[in-house]
Amino acid sequence: MTRTLGWLVVLALVAGLVMGFLVAPRDAAQGNVQRIMYVHVPSVLVAYLAFAVVLLASIVYLTTRRESADRIGHASAEVGVLFTGITIASGAIWGKPTWGTWWTWDARLTSVAVLFVMYLGYLLVRGMVDDRERAARYSAVVGIVAALDVPLVHFSVYWWRTLHQPPTMLKPGPSAMPGVFAATLLVNLAALALVYVFLVTKRVALLRREEEALA
């Protein structure tokens, strides 16, 4: 089953690259730099998906204490942090030629950075609590708090940056959304979502083996 999934991932990634570089036209306003959005936007969306899964897994774990829920939460958090890192880095790489600077405290970059640090904390709890069962409980609580915090972080950072300030920043992402751009985004989103599923599946299997090895 993982073999077919693996091949599906490769296929989807190739499709995404083809769409992103060959099918999608050059953006009129930003030039070819805009193509970075086909990595940046799907990455952040997959990261949100990952953290939503962490929330669900954490709640299931705390209410049922099923170890499979714990493993899924752990794996999803790891992959989610990876995608968040990719989001920030690709956003910065896009920002340098577009805004002239690697980092700005604009609403989206800042809230994603806070997201990154919150879930790094989740992974730190996993790493620093020796007793497996306690680590599972503690990180489940952190996973729930962090997920519930996401909308709060969003609004607070957005208001902090945009109210009483002239909108001088270009919003990251395609300004208009003609069909081709949207389609390319969707294909790349599907590809990265499949990568997420693939990596989480592998990580969960590995976690189960690690536990068995220790037993």
Partner 1 sequence: MSYARRAWIVLWKDALAERRSKEALNALFFFTLLLLFIFQFTLGGDRERLTDALPGLLWLGFVLSGLVGLGRAFLTERDHDCWEGLLLSPGDKSAIYLGKLAGNLLLMLLVEAIMLVLFGVFFNLDVGRHLPALAGVVVLGTVGFAAVGTLFAAMTAQVRARELLFPVLLLPVLVPVLLGSVKATEAVLAGEGLGGVTHWLKLLAAADTVYVAVGVLTFDAILEG
Partner 2 sequence: MPDNWSFVIAAYLLAAVVLGAYWRHLVKKERELEVHDRMDRPVKSTQSMSVNQSVKGTELRVPGTGHVRSEPSTRRPLP
Q: How far is the CB of 200 from partner 1 (least distance, A)?
A: 23
Token output for 22: 């060959």
Give the footprint of partner 1 on this chain (CB under 8 A). Answer: 62, 114, 117-118, 120-121, 124-125, 128-130, 133-134, 137-138, 140-142, 144-146, 148-149, 152-153, 155-157, 159-160
178 counts as binding partner 2 under rule CB under 8 A: no
The entry of partner 1, partner 2, none near residue 118 (CB within 5 to 8 angstroms by kind) is partner 1
210 counts as binding partner 2 under rule CB under 8 A: yes
| CA distances to 5, 7, 8, 201 from 1, in Å | 6, 10, 11, 11
Helix (H, G, I), strand (E, B) or coil at 168: coil
Q: How far is the C-alpha of 180 from the C-alpha of 168, rounded, in Å?
A: 27
Token output for 67: 């170890």
Helix axes 107-128, 132-162, angle to 10 degrees: 170
Pick the piece of the chain touching partner 2 (CB under 8 A) from 31-39, 53-61, 161-169, 170-178. 31-39
Query: Contact residues for partner 2 (CB under 8 A)?
Result: 29-33, 35-36, 39-40, 43, 78-79, 82, 85-86, 89-90, 93-94, 96-97, 195, 199, 202-203, 205-206, 209-210, 212-213
